[in-house]
Structure 1
Amino acid sequence: MADNSQTINRFFAKKRLHLTLIVVGLGLAYVLASVGLGFQTQSLFGVQNGIIWLAHNFIPNAESASYWHDIVTQLWRTFLVAIASTTCAAVVSLFLAVLGAKTLSPSVVLNWVIRSFASFMRNIPIVAWAMILLFSFKQNDLTGFLALFFMTVGFLTRAFMETIEDFGTGKLEALQATGATYLQVIFQGLIPEIATALMGWVLYMIENNVRDATLVGLLTGTGIGFIFNLYFKGLRYGAAGLVVLAVIILVVSVELVSKLIGRLLA
């Protein structure tokens, strides 16, 4: 019993040491970052003043209600860009995933190339994509569409590949044993079986892209992000607050619809 007690005490002592080292490391990281930025910790105590200012200025009022039409129009454009980029990316991603999945890929080299391509595309942040594309396509809806499209292709290709690989080789071999061709195995056996899972990933990306499209609009000068920037810089804070409220309503609505569709498909 004494040996067990000592073992337990050593175990918890080691865990406490690890926790202490983590806390100290985080504290040092904060101090170094604060010194590098010239950030003063006491300024955190003034956060409540900023919150009070937001509550006073960013609350939509009767005057800002006149901006509803422009806000809804640009919000709709932003939503359409998010939907279009996601659906187009889903089609391309499914094609790449079928070619790149370990259970279906015609060669190991192709599997490696597509997997590496997907990892590269999804690891570039959406903001970086928008800034890169601005040089070639300038500030327009196409730039926002392409930024969302490229990032979504990377994410969905990897997600679709993992979904296909989870289907298992046994089921694919059973379909082939019945005399089914390669295309029949894919389009009549595999895809109908995993359609619900694939749709779940598409709905998830639509939710994400609706949020990201707002941020991309700030950079590309389009959609709801553009008019928020316009109102904010024009000191029309009530209208800017109305933009934020409209974005929140849209995001929550899309999430609720996605969950409802997910339940219907389950």
Structure 2
Amino acid sequence: MSEKGMQKRKWQLTIALLIIIAITYLSAAITNFNFMDGFAAFPEAIGWMFSNLFITQESLERLPTILDKLIETIFMSIAATTTAAIVSIFLGIMGSKTTSVNSLLSVFARFIASVSRNIPVVAWALILLLSFGQNSLTGYLALFVGTVGFLTRVFIESIDEASPSAVEALTATGATYFHIVNKAVIPQSLPQMISWILFMIETNIRSSTLVGILTGTGIGYTFDMYYKSMNYNAVALVTFSIVLAVIIIELMSNYIRKVIM
């Protein structure tokens, strides 16, 4: 890069940094947030956490109940992700330029993905809560809808990145549309699809905790119950269980990715 180009790049980065600083201070002014008060409260907050959020023998007696709810949450997340993945594969095939049957179906699939993805899972939980009430179905549907939007988007991109040579070769032999999709498109895209499905399982386990607080189900409800009753030792055990479960699931996902990629 020339000296003139480097100078221009430097000015662009400086302007971008100044804009970010200005937006930050403007946001703080609008919300009445004081940075100094926030930093000053940090030591006290950390001290409170170490004083209250620790696991005791009494809290360990609640471990079977906590594990039962945690397992329920994990399986609900897996069920929502896998069923959403099946729907997303069909929407991805319809939305991709490589496999699209017609433009109307492509626009429809992309519209579904956009709406589902751009509304947060928590918002979906609140919307569905009005119709279905506080139960496991509401939590499942909230995760399902949000997952469909995300997976459809990434599946469309994965299919679009598939090599067109195999598609062209099968087309030249007179293969049917379903044969082309089954033999040329899906095998190329499948490793990436599985990787994204594993990623969404991890994400949904994290999201289901917050969804459970709203829908009164799973580990989220258990966390909320102990928190409202100020049983902070049990809250610490719930938090530790969630973190440990997410780490284990992530390690398993990383291993499976290494095998299939």
- Normalising by structure 2, what TM-score? 0.93
Local SS of the residue matching 1:63 = helix
Local SS of the residue matching 1:103 = coil
Q: Residues 103 and 168 of structure 1 are in contact (CA less than 8 Å); yes or no, is this contact kept in structure 2? A: no
Return the letter of the residue paired with 1:21: L
Aligned to 1:26: 23
Number of residue pairs matched by the alignment: 260
Q: 1:132 aligns with which of 127, 140, 145?
A: 127
Aligned to 2:81: 86
Aligned to 1:14: 11
Aligned to 1:55: 50
Return the letter of the residue paired with 1:160: F
Aligned to 1:112: 107
User: In structure 2, what is the Cα distance between the partners aligned to 1:224 and 1:93?
Assistant: 27
Shift in Å, 1:40: 7.2
Task: For residues 76-107 of structure 1, give each alpha carbon's deviation from its aligned partner in whole angstroms, at most 9, with x where no partner exists.
Answer: 00001100000000000001111221111111
Give 5+ residue unaligned stretches, structure 2. none
Give 5+ residue unaligned stretches, structure 1. none
Shift in Å, 1:10: 5.8
Return the letter of the residue paired with 2:173: T
Shift in Å, 1:150: 0.2
**Backbone CA RMSD of aligned residues:** 2.0
Choose 192-201 or 13-22, whichever is displaced more. 13-22
Indicate how the Cα distance of structure 1 residues 227 and 101 shifts in structure 2: closer, same or farther if over 3 A, else same. Answer: same
User: In structure 1, what is the Cα distance between the partners aligned to 2:64 and 2:165?
Assistant: 56
Task: For residues 194-253 of structure 1, give each alpha carbon's deviation from its aligned partner in whole angstroms, at most 9, with x where no partner exists.
Answer: 211110111111110111011100100000000111011111110110000000000000
User: In structure 2, what is the Cα distance between the partners aligned to 1:194 and 1:8?
Assistant: 39
- Normalising by structure 1, what TM-score? 0.91
Indicate how the Cα distance of structure 1 residues 75 and 16 shifts in structure 2: closer, same or farther if over 3 A, else same. Answer: closer
Return the letter of the residue paired with 1:46: A
Q: Residues 214 and 223 of structure 1 are in contact (CA less than 8 Å); yes or no, is this contact kept in structure 2? A: yes
Q: 1:249 aligns with which of 244, 247, 255?
A: 244
User: In structure 2, what is the Cα distance between the partners aligned to 1:40 and 1:14?
Assistant: 28
The percent of aligned pairs where both chains have the same amino acid is: 39
User: In structure 2, what is the Cα distance between the partners aligned to 1:12 and 1:99?
Assistant: 41
Shift in Å, 1:22: 2.2
Indicate how the Cα distance of structure 1 residues 213 and 23 shifts in structure 2: closer, same or farther if over 3 A, else same. Answer: closer
Q: 1:45 aligns with which of 40, 43, 58?
A: 40
1:1-266 matches, within 5 Å, as 7=4, 11=8, 14-15=11-12, 17-19=14-16, 21-22=18-19, 24-35=21-32, 41-266=36-261
Q: What stretches of structure 1 move > 6 A for 4+ residues in a row?
A: none
